[in-house]
Amino acid sequence: MRLVVTHNGEGEILSVARIHPDNAAGPDGGVGAWPERGYRVVDLDVSDEFAELAPSEIAERYRFDTRTGELAAESESGS
């Protein structure tokens, strides 16, 4: 499963969107995201455990670890 995650420099997630396989065939992967200044957008391959969560739940429960480039549970990120 693939996600598009918008986050700030500290790894706080602003938004999460799923990339559906049917949309991924387009020239831009079916997704366009232009973040505000100070935010970054990443395209992540994640495990199927995230398929059971709504994007809003992912944003609430996880942070983007800017060192590893992966999602980390809030309790694992030291916040």
23-43: per-residue pLDDT in tens?
555 555 555 666 778 888 898
pLDDT at 26: 54
- Find where tokens 């944003």 sit: 59
More confident of the two residues 31 and 9: 9
Task: For the chain, give every domain's residue range.
Answer: 2-76
CB atoms within 10 A of CB 72: 16
d(CA 21, CA 63): 24
**Is residue 65 a contact partner of residue 10, using CB atoms and an 8 Å limit?**
no
Model's pTM, two decimal places? Answer: 0.75
Confidence of residue 18 (pLDDT cuts 50, 70, 90): confident
Say yes or no to pLDDT of 79 above 80.
Answer: no
Report the chain's mean pLDDT, rounded to a whole number. Answer: 83
Segment 45-58 shows an average pLDDT of: 92
d(CA 5, CA 33): 9
